[in-house]
Amino acid sequence: MSNDRQHKATRLAQALHFINPAHGAVVPGIEPASTFARDADYAPMGRAVYGRDGGPTTQHAEAVLADLDGAEAAMLFASGMSAVVAVFETLRSGDHVVCPKVAYHGTITWLNRMAELRGITVSYFDASKSDALAAAVRPETKFIWIESPTNPNWDITDIAAAAKIAASTGAKLIFDATCCPVMTTRALDLGADIVFQSATKYLNGHSDLTGGVLSTRDTGALWDEMRLVRTLQGTVMGAFEAYLLIRGLRTLHLRWDRACRNAMEIATHFSDHDGIEAVLYPGLPNHPGHDVAARQMEGGFGGMLSLIARSEASARTIATSTRVFVPATSLGGVESLIEHRIAVEPPGSAVSPALLRLSVGIEDVRDLIADLEQAIAQAMP
């Protein structure tokens, strides 16, 4: 069977069937060189020239990610935010961006900075309303940035419908897939132009690196400009981090499947609980976006959900009373995390003060449910 007919899980597990031709190693090595020699004709001996553009280990990780996303190319960065910045650094004064009003706070913070300093205009739409995105788009819109589900409210946006809206105005649709990698949401196939992901999260899955990645359906002038921004800023992912990322990607399908199953059990268990006001999870049939999510999230509804506690004080108590869930930021690792989200949001955030964001890991789900039960009991009168 040729590689292009194999399941993505197979190609990921083998890191694109990597075998080192020099000695037969089945695990990609680390090439930390910062510069690379040229041949007798002064031509580069390989794809790498200088470390600020990325070396062989980073290029291998990019090839694995491009294959995973079904992309023409992928580009790795030292952090998720450096990838976000590379996208928005291509904007010009007068350009317009559309973004959900509740989304990853780093994205919103940077967009607000661009609006203040660069003359960029931004329209924030309510992702819980199906017609809000179309109403926010203008003729001068350059980028439509969406998440689905949105972080941390887990509202659903129809990606294919968003792609049609973008195409009608000539805007580029950029999809933040950090919380829903391609095993569940094939954003490029649904019409997105570029997929952004924080590689720190599910792609790595072990909470031991920071990174970001952009994957594109088509390369061209915009992609080249983003690559130039990465080179000039010196924000390429290093060789050791790329090695760790490849290692994490090889178990991505297994980790994702377990996290999705655990999250569904937790969401179902607490959906009618005296100590919880509401559960936000698109896998629940009563979620407003469930039907759209079921159509475009084919490999599970994800390992992220939020619990709305009875009050802000209750949320703080729960977040500091867990014994299995770790009270920490970030998401997508093998360990389960709990976060009182408003505590890390910027001023003016629309996130509920009573919201607890859960990143559900791969532990035994019975331990996770019991841990939340005892923490919620401590918050109840």
Averaged pLDDT in 10-residue chunks for the chain of 381 residues: 72 86 86 91 88 93 96 98 98 97 94 95 96 97 97 97 97 98 95 98 98 97 98 97 97 97 98 97 97 95 98 98 97 98 91 97 98 97 81
For residues 58 and 188, membership in a common domain is answered with yes
Q: What is the DSSP code (8-state) at residue 102? A: S
For residues 214 and 310, membership in a common domain is answered with no
Indicate the residue among 183, 216, 249 that finishes a domain.
249
The structural domain count of the chain equals 2
Dist CA 236 CA 341 (whole Å):
29
Q: What is the CATH number of the domain that holds 319?
A: 3.90.1150.10
- 291 catalytic per annotation: no
pTM value is 0.94
Report the 10 Å Cβ neighbour count for 138. Answer: 12
Which of 8, 11, 52, 101 is catalytic? The answer is: 52
Note the pLDDT of residue 4. 62
Which of 172, 201, 217, 357 is catalytic? The answer is: 201
Which of 155, 158, 176, 193 is catalytic? The answer is: 176
Q: What angle do CA 137, 141, 145 make, to 5 degrees?
A: 75
Which of 67, 69, 95, 104 is catalytic? The answer is: 104
Report the 10 Å Cβ neighbour count for 120. Answer: 21
Note the pLDDT of residue 20. 81
Dist CA 338 CA 340 (whole Å):
7
For residues 210 and 259, membership in a common domain is answered with no
Note the pLDDT of residue 61. 97
- 101 catalytic per annotation: no
Note the pLDDT of residue 2. 44
Tokens of 144: 């439509």
- 189 catalytic per annotation: no
Q: What angle do CA 366, 368, 373 make, to 5 degrees?
A: 95
Note the pLDDT of residue 1. 36
- 243 catalytic per annotation: no
Domain that includes residue 313, residue range? 253-379
